[in-house]
Chain A
Amino acid sequence: MKFKKLQNTPISAMTYLRRIFPFLRWWNFIGWDTVRADLIAGLTGAIIVLPQGVAFAMIAGLPPEYGLYTAMVVPLVAALFGSSLHLISGPTTAISIVIFSSLSSVAVPGSAEYIRLVITLTFLAGVFQFAFGLARMGILVNFVSHTVIVGFTAGAAILIVTSQLKHVFGIRLPGSESFFNDWVNIIREISGINPYALIVAAGTLACAVLFKFFRPRWPGLLIAMIIGSLIAVFLVAKSHNIRLMESMPSHLPPFSIPDFSLDAIRMLAPKAFPVALIGLIEALSIARSIAAKSRQLIDSNQEFIGQGLSNICGSFFSCYAGSGSFTRSGLNYHSGAMTPLSAVFSAVFLALILLLVAPLTEYLPIPAMGGVILLVAFNLIDFHHIRGIIKTGKQETFILLTTFAATLIFDLEFAIYGGVLMSLFLYLSRTAHPEVVSLIPNPDVPGQYLAEADSSCPALKIIRVDGSLFFGAVNHVVEFFQAIDKQLPYKCHILIMACGINFIDITGAEMLVNEARRRRGLRGDLYLCGLKQNARDFLERGGYLDSIGADHIFVSETEAIKAILPTIDNPECRKCQSSLFKECENRE
C-alpha cells in the first residue's frame, strides 16, 4: 500500500544523513539514563558472550579466539548500521553449523587455508546481505507473521534450555543434531548428574530470579554469575568436576584480508548465499520478536544493510559470519538496554575483559552460565501472546504450534520457511474467500440503514462483499450468486454494497459483467453501490462500466433502493406482505 504524501516537504540534509548513518536516528535519545542502562546490559552481554563465542567458533571449525573476534566487531557494526535497537549480532549456532558443513570438505578445519576460506565466505555473505538491503528486499520478511515469530521464539527458547541442561546438570553428552536425541541422551545420563554443578547452576538461577523480582534495576544476571562463581569457589570446583571457562587469549582482533581472487569468489559465492540468507532470516526474526515486546518498528532493509556491513567489516578483522543471537539479544533486552549502544559497550567490555582480566575468566563456572541462560530462555517465551493467539482461532493456533514443533524438530531456518509458507497459504485462502453477507433495511437503529440478517426481500437481494474482487476470489463470489439462484429462484435483482471492495482486476470485472448479463436474462439486474473511486475508475477504463450500466452504479444505499424498487416487476413481490422497504408501502 502506498500512502500519499500529505505535504511536499523537502527532505532535509539531516534526513539524508540519517539514512546513510542510521545511528543518528536514535542518537538524540541518548542521555545519562540510557547510557547507564546500556552499560549494565553491555557488561552482562560481554560476560555471556565469552563462553558462547568460544563454543560457536569450535562448532564452526575455527580456533576459539575467532568466536570472540566475531563477538566484538560484528555486533558493533550491526548495531550502528542496523534498525533494531536491541538485536545483538555475533557468532551463532546455526551459522557456525552451516559454515562448518560448507567448508570442512574443502579444507582442514582450523588450518590457515580453512580460516582464509571462512573469512572470504564471510565477506561474500556480507556483500549478498548488503545488496539485498540496497535492493529493498527486506519486504519479503514482512511475510513472517507475528504468530510465526511467537512460535519460533518459544521453540528456540526450548532449544536453548535443552542445549544448556548438560551444563546445568554437569553431564557430558555425545554430539547430536536432534532435539529429541538430546533429550534421550539427557535422560540416559541423568544418573550421572554432578550435584555440585547443579548446586552452582541452581544457586545462580535462584539469585537471578530473586534479583529480577526484588531488585529489577540491578544487573541481576551479572551479580548472579558472580555469586555462582563464589559458590563454585566455596565448593572447590576443580575437585568436584565443575567445569570452568578456559583461559582466553588477551589481544584484539587482528587485521585480515579476504581472498579476492576470481577462483575463490567463484567457489565460495554459492556457499555464501545460504549463509547470507540464514543470517538475514535469523537476525530479522529475532529483531522482530524483540520489537514485538519493545514496540519498535523494524526497517527490514536497514537491518539487511546492517547485517551485510557487519559481515563485510568483520571479514577484515578476522571474524567469521555472524547473525542475530537469540540468547544475547533476549538478555540484552531483559537487562534493560535502551539503545544499540549496549552492543557497542558489550564489544568494548569484551575487549577489555580479554585485555585486562582474561585470566580471571578461568574462575567462571559453566553451570553458572547455564543457569543464567535458562532464565533468559524462559523470558523469551511470550506467554501473553501465546494465550491471545490460542483464543483468536484455530488457524493461528495451528501456525503457532506447527512453527513451534518445526523449530524443535527441524533446522531453525526450515521452521521459519514452514511458518512463512503456512502464513502465506492462510492469507491467500482468506483473500480468496471474501466474506459475502446478506443485508436488509434496519429501521431500529437510527443512521444504520442496512443490517446483516438471514431474512430478505423476495425480489431484491442486497449483499455486501468484504474483500477484493480478483482472480483468486471470483470463484467464491460466483458460487454465492449461484447459491442465491438455487435458494430463491425469483430473486433476480442483486444490489452489491461495494464499499468493502478495495480492488477489482480484469477477472473480477468480467465476472461482474457476466453476472449482470445473466441477471438481465433472468428478468433481473445487477447494481453496485458505494464503489470506491479506484475500482470505479478501473471499470470505466476497461469499458466494463458500459456493460454493467453507468446508471446501475449508485453512491448511497437510499439512492440505490429508491431507484431500483420501482423497476422491479416480480410475481413474488406482488404477493409479499412484509414491506421491508419504506418504498414498498407505496406500491399498489
Chain B
Amino acid sequence: MSIVTISRGSYSRGKEIAEKLAETLGYECISREIILEASEQFNIPEIKLVRAIHDAPSILDRFSYGKERYIAFFRAAFLKRIQKDNLVYHGLAGQIFVQNIPHILKIRIIANLDARVKEEVKREKISAEQARQILVKDDAERRKWSMALYSLDTWDQRFYDMTLHLDTMGVEDAVSTILHILQRPCFQTTPKSLELLNDLSLSAQTEAALVNEFPKATVDAGKGLVYVSIRGSLIDEKRITDKVNRLVENVAGVKKVNVNIVPHSIKD
C-alpha cells in the first residue's frame, strides 16, 4: 500500500525506472494517462493541458488565468487517481501537488547531460548539438514553470525524499534502492495519511469546480468541510458566496462550504 512519484528530466531514464518499479511491485504505472483523464473529465483539449503543465506562464497567462485553469483540472484528476493507492507516477508536477502528504515517496532521478544527450540522439535520431539544445531548453522551461506558479525549484533536493543519480547506478540498482526504502513504515499508507490525501483531493475537486468562475480561488478541505478563499470586493460578498455554493454543490464529498472573501493582499 504505497504511492511513488518520480520526477525526472527528459531522457534521464526515469520512465524506465518507474515502469520497472511498478512491474516489480504489481502496481499501476501512470503518466500521460492523467492528462487524458483530465481532458475527458473537464472536456478540454489534451494539447492545452500538456502545455499548461509544461510551458512557463507568459505575461498574458497572468491576466487570463489560463494556466491556473488547466493546472487545476490536471491536479484534480491527478489527486483523484492517486487516491486509489498502489501506483507509481512519473512525469510532470506530481511531486508538487503532494508535498504535504508524508507517505508518498517522492523520488528525483537525475543524470548527466552528456548521458541524456546520448540517449536522446539514440532515440530521436537527431544531432548531439540539437539534442543538447532541446534538453537545456526543456529543463529551463520546467524550472521556470514551477518557479512561476509555486515558487519551487524542481532541482531543489529538499522537495524529494530521495535523489538517484543514474551515472553511478543502473536502472536495476535504482529500482532496488527504491524498493528497499519503500519498505520503511513511513512510506506505507495509513488511515491518517489517506485522510490527508482525501482532504487534498477534495480541495482539488472543489478548486476545479470553481476555477472557471474564480481562477484565483484557493481551497482547503477537512472531513468534508471546505474553506474557499476568493479574491473580490466585500461589497460582492453575498453574490460570490451564493455563486460558490451553487458551483460546489455537485462536488462529491462536500458537506459544508465556508467562503472567505480576500479583498486585498498587501506586502510589507
Contacts and interface: CB of A to CB of B under 8 A. Distances in A.
Tell whether A pairs with B: yes
Residue picked from B234, B235, B267, most chain A C-beta under 10 Å: B235
B66 to A, nearest CB: 11
A295 B233 contact: no
A380 B203 CA distance: 37
A337 B65 contact: no
Given A31-B216, A216-B239, A294 B65 contact: no
A431 interface: no
Contacts of A24: 267
Interface stretch (B142-150, B180-188, B192-200, B258-266): B258-266
A550 B259 CA distance: 55
Interface string B229-268: 0011111100100000000000000000000000111111
Contacts of B62: 31
Contacts of B233: 37, 294, 333, 336-338
A35 B63 contact: yes
Nearest to A18: B267
Interface in A325-351: 333-334, 336-339
A240 interface: no
A333 B216 contact: no
Given A31-B216, A34-B231, A338-B233, A26 B266 contact: yes
Nearest to B64: A32
B216 A33 contact: yes
Interface residues on chain A, size class? 20 to 34
B263 A295 contact: yes
B235 A296 contact: no
Contacts of B265: 26, 28-29
Contacts of A217: 236, 239
Nearest to A333: B235
A336 B239 CA distance: 12
Nearest to A37: B233
Contacts of B215: 31, 33
A32 B63 contact: yes
B89 to A, nearest CB: 31
B3 to A, nearest CB: 34
Contacts of B266: 25-26, 29, 85, 296-297
Interface string A288-303: 0000011111000000
Contacts of A25: 266-268
A15 interface: yes
Contact of A26 (B63, B216, B235, B264): B264
Interface in A269-316: 293-297
Contacts of B267: 18, 24-26, 28
Given A217-B236, A336-B236, A31 B231 contact: yes
A28 B231 CA distance: 12
Contacts of A296: 263-264, 266
Contacts of B64: 32
Given A31-B62, A294-B263, A334 B235 contact: yes
Given A29-B231, A31-B231, A37-B233, A338 B263 contact: yes
Given A26-B264, A294-B264, A33 B231 contact: yes
A85 B233 CA distance: 11
A18 B267 CA distance: 8
A294 B63 contact: no
B234 A295 contact: yes
Given A33-B231, A336-B235, A338-B233, A15 B268 contact: yes
Contacts of B264: 26, 29, 85, 294, 296, 338-339
A216 B235 contact: yes
Interface of B: 62-65, 215-216, 231-236, 239, 263-268
20 contacts: A25-B266, A25-B267, A26-B265, A28-B267, A29-B264, A29-B265, A32-B65, A37-B233, A216-B236, A217-B236, A217-B239, A293-B234, A297-B266, A333-B233, A333-B235, A336-B233, A336-B236, A338-B263, A338-B264, A339-B264
Given A29-B264, A296-B266, 14 more contacts: A24-B267, A26-B265, A26-B267, A28-B265, A29-B265, A29-B266, A35-B63, A85-B264, A293-B234, A295-B263, A333-B235, A336-B235, A338-B232, A338-B264
Q: 9 closest pairs, A vs B, by CB?
A: A32-B63, A29-B265, A336-B233, A25-B266, A25-B267, A294-B263, A85-B264, A26-B266, A338-B233
